[in-house]
Amino acid sequence: MNVFRDFRSRIILRIVLLGASMALFTYMLGQVNMLFAALLTGAVILLQLLELFRFVSQTNRKLTRFLESVKYSDFISGFTADNKLGKSFKDLNIAFNEVLEAFRKARSEKEEHWQYLNTVVQQVRTGILSFDENGAVQLINTNAKKFMGVQTIKNINELRDKNLKLYEAITATLPGRSTLYKGGNELYLTIQATELRIRGKDVKLITLQNIQPELQRQEVEAWQNLTRVLRHEIMNSITPISSLTSTLKDVLEYDMVKTNNHYELKEEGAEDLKEGLETIETRSKGLIKFIDAYREYTSLPKPKIKSVRLKDLIEKVALLMKPEIKARNINFTYECTSEYLTIQADEEMIEQVLINLLKNAVEALAETPSPRLQLIGRYDESAVIVEVIDNGSGIIKEAIEKIFIPFFTTKKTGSGIGLSLSRQIMQLHNGSISVESEPDVRTVFTLRF
């Protein structure tokens, strides 16, 4: 502030002196005997004008150089603390240098921050790619190049010649959506897009994540669970059959007597033989039933999708289940919060899912005092929800994560495919099924479309 105050006083002083000189010059011109003095005064006025011009120009040049340094980010050059424009301008030079130093420090911190973020981006396992509306690549990390099969890429359109399928998947992915791309045996990408506006330009940010290792891990885990259940069920049937076969062989060997060219079986042996064959028959039928359940699970038909009015579907399922529920003295209520809610689904398949969930709930309420069962259809945020709620025995924490595994069951009787079949049906409808349970308080199965 002192600098500019001093600058102003110096300008005023020069103007006052210039004004006085011009007044004196005018006076001298009117005096005949002072013509030579007038010429000298005119020369002084000219020198004062030149000095004023030099003074202002030098200051302007200094300000212009400072502003250009800021404009072009030239923070290397500095300003010497000279006294040519007065001692107070020493402070101006110091102020300019301090401002440039602040800019220099800010740019240095910005570059460090950029290097840090760039290092993080390059190290993450997710591929990251961004390009503007003209296709010019703004950012790309190592994993994105790896997934795209390129060493360098300046424009996303270059990918068209190298991998047309991936190029179409990336460019067709809408902001806020995701797309699946199947490459080689070890590449299964999920592509997600976000749109940003930077410096007046629309920029599309793409993330590429290879989910193949996770899919393989999940597949191995699913097969392990399935084979564990298959082994358990088959061994439960084969072991007694094998044991009984050996026992029946012994019965025939020791209790069967040959008399007059024909064989006679003792009464006790006959009873053992009959019981053994009945047991083999029972276990064989159980094994056949299990195989039929497996065939049902693995050969689910493709759904015939159509628009289904949710209120009508709920009322139809409730009508089918009412007699059985009423016979158990269960307080059953059902509702749909809106008459206009519809789902895109195979009506018969979703009926099968709801009936299965209601039957499970009825069984869970068998020993519950004041049993209550609800079937509710509603809209929640961005999805249509169907809930089956009961206050039955519920599901313990240890089992709740396994109940959707094929052939896993907590019941003494049952195939263990009902819930896994329901999940498969919901997946075919691009939906989901989930459960929350607090035993003996509240259990909620939720279908989300």
Over the chain (449 residues), the average pLDDT of each successive run of 10 is 55 77 75 72 78 70 67 61 55 68 76 75 81 86 85 87 86 84 77 83 85 73 70 69 72 66 67 74 71 64 86 88 86 89 88 86 86 89 87 81 68 63 84 86 89
**Per the structure, how many domains does the chain have?**
4
Q: How many Cα atoms within 13 Å fall on the side-chain side of residue 314?
A: 25
In a domain, 422, yes or no: yes
Same domain, 379 and 429: yes
Same domain, 318 and 373: yes
In a domain, 113, yes or no: no
Same domain, 280 and 315: no
In a domain, 59, yes or no: yes
- End-to-end, the C-alpha distance of the chain in Å comes to 69
Residue 416 sits in a domain whose CATH number is 3.30.565.10
In a domain, 114, yes or no: no
Same domain, 64 and 137: no
Neighbours of 339 (CB within 10 A): 9
In a domain, 176, yes or no: yes
Neighbours of 223 (CB within 10 A): 10
Tokens 């026992």 locate to 247
What is the DSSP-derived secondary structure letter of residue 212? H
Q: Residue 3: what pLDDT?
A: 46
DSSP string of 304-340?
--EEEEHHHHHHHHHHHHHHHHHHTT-EEEEEES-TT
In a domain, 364, yes or no: yes
Same domain, 200 and 101: no
Same domain, 354 and 293: no
Same domain, 11 and 60: yes
Same domain, 182 and 251: no
Q: What backbone phi and psi angles, to 5 degrees, belong to 380?
A: -130, 110
Last residue of a domain, one of 244, 267, 298: 298
In a domain, 119, yes or no: no
Tokens 């206050």 locate to 391
In a domain, 116, yes or no: no
CA angle 195, 199, 202 (to 5 degrees): 25
Q: Residue 163: what pLDDT?
A: 85
Same domain, 22 and 87: yes
Last residue of a domain, one of 58, 73, 107: 107
Same domain, 348 and 433: yes
Whole-prediction pTM value? 0.47
User: Which of 303, 286, 298 has its CA nearest to residue 223?
Assistant: 298
Same domain, 313 and 413: yes
Q: What is the domain range of residue 353? A: 306-448
User: Which of 158, 155, 157, 123 has its CA nearest to residue 142?
Assistant: 123
Same domain, 327 and 434: yes
Cα–Cα distance between 7 and 55 in angstroms, integer?
10
Last residue of a domain, one of 298, 327, 357: 298
